[in-house]
Structure 1
Amino acid sequence: MDKRKTSLLVIGLFIQLLIKAQNPIIQTIYTADPAPMVYKDTVYLFTGHDEDKSTWFTMKDWHCYTTTDMVNWTDKGSPLSLKAFSWAKKDAWAGQCIPRNGKFYWYVPINHETMGMSIGVAVSDSPTGPFKDALGKPLVHSGNGDIDPTVFIDDDGQAYLYWGNPYLKYVKLNKDMVSYSGEVVTVPLNKEGFNVRFKDVDKRPSAYEEGPWFYKRKNLYYMHYAAGGVPEHLAYSTSTSPTGPWVYRDTIMRIIGKGGAFTNHPGVVDYKGKSYFFYHNGALPGGGGFTRSVCLDEFRYNKDGSIPRIAPTKEGVKPVSNLNPFIRQEAETIAWEEGIEVGESMEAGIYVTEISNGDHIKLRSVDFKKGAKGFQANVASVAGGNIEIHLDSLEGVLLGSVEVKNTGGKESWATVSAAMKKVKGVHDLYFVFKGGQGDLFNFNWWKFSK
């Protein structure tokens, strides 16, 4: 094969990789420290938020995303921020949310204005908030390493809260989920339970670093965690009891190379018969150790309950169901995007904004069933533009184009419509935005008609 043909082949393969890329799963902001939660028929993903151009772990709020197909994620905004805690100084770091008693409890580490890192708890009647400080003070403070809480409710109703770096500690939560009984217990971090460190520069007794993720599967308790030294990899230990003793099992995910971050944080859920592993890297443009992004890959437990080595992918996971285009879908439901941002208002809630010429949104596995002929979009605009609707790729079959005219302002919402070429079956869907220079319009929701 001559050099010219080889070059064309390489370029073609590179383009195909870009088209198939689905990791990181959120592209509008930098997200870190994934904490997935399955509630009823939906996966809720709670994340930290690295501020743009951070040179430290500069984090001021937490965010929430939802999905029912594992590939299209709906932005639910920021249900909780440091402002909810009167005692907070800084550092909205890795937390976890869990349902109980008809409410939702979000355990988060925050730098207290006088005590340093502490574990707080916020409560809401809805998994998407708003959340409020349940106590007006920290739930627990045991030392400067009180970070990364993980929470689990056992079959007998007893709830456990684990946390910590460089230590691993736990308490038994009471049924009210905002208090605990007994003393703070420190877990022995020994070779048998948590292996040894590859780089023993800080003289820690084991590989355990931070970011624990605790749950039970069948009769086995799992403790996933970031292991070190730094840069971190992800490992796990198991126990036949919720309080140990722990037995080290293996590395789950190696240190991520190019596009990686020197920290990591695991999150694991089962959903619709499949098992999913969440983590973060630094793969988005401008990404790195302080500007991280959540990723997702599928895995299968071995028959003995052990976990195979999971290789991080750019392709992500396959859909477990299809998206229904005949009901209202939020514009901020996204599998992949380029260029756009999200905004929020009292009237529209969360919406897509900062749309420029050439930006696009991709949705995966949209089921048009027996056919669709029309399209509606709720928009607000001064400059105006067009929404081109393509099938299966950015330059795929053009179903039609919706003109967005001046609606009287960027918060003056109007519903526009257009006829479409008839489409059947399951397809990926691309909204490609066209227009002049600058911001074109805001985009709230869309819907196809039969």
Structure 2
Amino acid sequence: MRKKILTAIATMGYFLCIAQNPIIQTIYTADPAPLVHNDTVYLYTGHDEDASTWFTMKDWHCYTTTDMVNWTDRGAVLSLKDFSWAKKDAWAGQAIYRNDKFYWYVPMNHSTMGMSIGVAISTSPYGPFTDALGKPLVHSGNGDIDPGVFIDDDSQAYLYWGNPYLKYVKLNEDMISYSGDVISVPLNETGFSKRMKDADKRPSEYEEGPWIYKRKKLYYLAYPAGGVPEHLAYSTGPTATGPWTYRDTIMPVIKKGGAFTNHPGIIDYKGRSYLFYHNGALPGGGGFNRSVCVEEFTYHADGSIPRITNTTEGVRPVSFLNPFIRQEAETIAWEEGIETAKDSVGASGIFVTDISNNDYIKVRSADFRKGAKKFSVSVSDIKGGTIEIHADSKDGMLLGTLSVTPAGGSMQSCSLKKIKGVHDIYFVFKGSNHNMFNFDWWQFK
């Protein structure tokens, strides 16, 4: 992404010190769909192309975390090219795990029918995902977008979607077909509150992007609401199909750094509850260049969701990062200037690239325990440069400097000042070359 754009934040020192939102800075991301599986959060997102003047989206990306603050880039794991029938518009979808497989429901503009919902399948959360049907799973009208999927306690799966309507089907156990009719949900005042913008000519506040889940004995349906600019709201019901009762706003319209749309994703992870959403807060961002964020919240005793304010601070770590095992260079809490790319050969997967002078990567809450004395990296395509390792800020205590030279080979190391305890770590890149080297992984010893 955006060398020129990101240099605009270089002078915003206070912002850089506290920023954790948006959680991805290397590209514009939208429509978050978090999935908790095997103690890991898999975050599936849409991807707004740079400098878009419409919702120009061609692929979907995946990021993972086990601490909620450091996110590992897994690359573009699904794209329009994977669907022979799709023409454009890789918009908001959601993935779910069942039967030892991952099913990803995504809307696209069909070459002849307009917006339709397809399903991709993989045995791995990282893909490769393939079109399960070779055709849409659902096409019911002119607003088949934003599918949300949910599996109830009795194993019945549901697929919700739609704008301006809200529809659902009961998925079969194979997750790639459904039984019965397409059901339209009544969008009345009781279920979704009265529409306040009369010019929109819609009966309720519901807009799009349904996110359905169950907590204790209550079913929740969260959604963007109210028209442009959207806020986030929710309704609850006694079953996965309602009847729905409107509850309240979750997140008001984001006035500073907003994107005029929003999109909820709600999970529980390691005993905490999180709301994922998107805004337009990155430099160059806006309604068509959005960025995913996350906030922690606590349900009220009656199960209601509090009003949640968007922040730049983001969330606290739920665990500490282990710097003594190999960590991917693309595991990032915050960065400035760098890009990520995928190895076309597939030998090393995703790596950090486009590294220039004063670019940096921040990694949060690394636990050095009794101390680290050595720092090692894997690098390639070396022109020459250095990595300064700083503690707790970009200009914090200098722990060591690694000179990355062509003669040093792919594995290079340096000694460190001994550091103990839990610290944020900044890898600050220095050198006169543009694209000094590609950075694959790092490890302290």
User: TM-score range, shorter-chain basis?
Assistant: over 0.9
What does 1:418-437 align with in structure 2 at a 5 Å threshold?
418-437=414-433
8 Å contact from structure 1 (residues 407, 414) kept in 2: no
What does 1:252-331 align with in structure 2 at a 5 Å threshold?
252-331=250-329
What does 1:374-413 align with in structure 2 at a 5 Å threshold?
374-406=374-406
Structure-1 residue corresponding to 2:134: 136
Letter in 2 for 1:194: F
CA distance in 1, matches of 2:174, 2:60: 23
Counterpart pick for 2:114 among 87, 96, 116: 116
Structure-1-length-normalised TM-score: 0.95
Counterpart pick for 1:241 among 223, 239, 242: 239
User: Aligned pairs, how many?
Assistant: 433
**C-alpha deviation, 1:200, in angstroms:** 1.8
8 Å contact from structure 1 (residues 197, 228) kept in 2: yes
What does 1:11-30 align with in structure 2 at a 5 Å threshold?
15-30=13-28
Letter in 1 for 2:272: K
**C-alpha deviation, 1:258, in angstroms:** 1.6
What is the aligned-residue RMSD (CA, Å)? 1.2
Structure-1 residue corresponding to 2:369: 369
CA distance in 2, matches of 1:268, 1:305: 14
Secondary structure class of the residue paired with 1:77:
strand
CA distance in 2, matches of 1:93, 1:80: 12
8 Å contact from structure 1 (residues 147, 164) kept in 2: yes
Secondary structure class of the residue paired with 2:386:
strand
Structure-1 residue corresponding to 2:42: 44
Secondary structure class of the residue paired with 1:192:
helix
Structure-2-length-normalised TM-score: 0.96
Q: Greater CA deviation, 248-257 or 376-385?
A: 376-385
Cα distance change on mapping 1:307 and 1:41 into 2, 3 Å: same
Letter in 1 for 2:421: G
What does 1:201-212 align with in structure 2 at a 5 Å threshold?
201-212=199-210
- Structure 1: give runs of 5+ residues left out of the alignment: 1-13
- Structure 2: give runs of 5+ residues left out of the alignment: 1-11
Aligned: 1:360 with 2:360: yes
8 Å contact from structure 1 (residues 387, 402) kept in 2: yes
- Report % sequence identity: 73
Secondary structure class of the residue paired with 1:83:
helix
CA distance in 2, matches of 1:15, 1:353: 24
The superposition leaves residues 144-171 of structure 1 with CA deviations (integer Å, 9 ceiling, x where unpaired) of 1000000000000000000000000000
Counterpart pick for 1:150 among 148, 151, 166: 148
Structure-2 residue corresponding to 1:440: 436
8 Å contact from structure 2 (residues 49, 57) kept in 1: yes
8 Å contact from structure 1 (residues 200, 229) kept in 2: no
Cα distance change on mapping 1:47 and 1:407 into 2, 3 Å: farther
CA distance in 2, matches of 1:203, 1:381: 58
Letter in 2 for 1:385: G
CA distance in 2, matches of 1:287, 1:184: 37
Letter in 2 for 1:77: G
**C-alpha deviation, 1:407, in angstroms:** 5.7
The superposition leaves residues 53-77 of structure 1 with CA deviations (integer Å, 9 ceiling, x where unpaired) of 0000000000000000000000000
8 Å contact from structure 1 (residues 390, 430) kept in 2: yes
CA distance in 1, matches of 2:158, 2:242: 12
CA distance in 1, matches of 2:389, 2:241: 54
CA distance in 2, matches of 1:407, 1:174: 58
Structure-2 residue corresponding to 1:9: none
Structure-1 residue corresponding to 2:176: 178
**C-alpha deviation, 1:196, in angstroms:** 1.4
CA distance in 2, matches of 1:396, 1:198: 51
8 Å contact from structure 2 (residues 92, 145) kept in 1: yes
**C-alpha deviation, 1:439, in angstroms:** 1.5
Cα distance change on mapping 1:188 and 1:407 into 2, 3 Å: farther
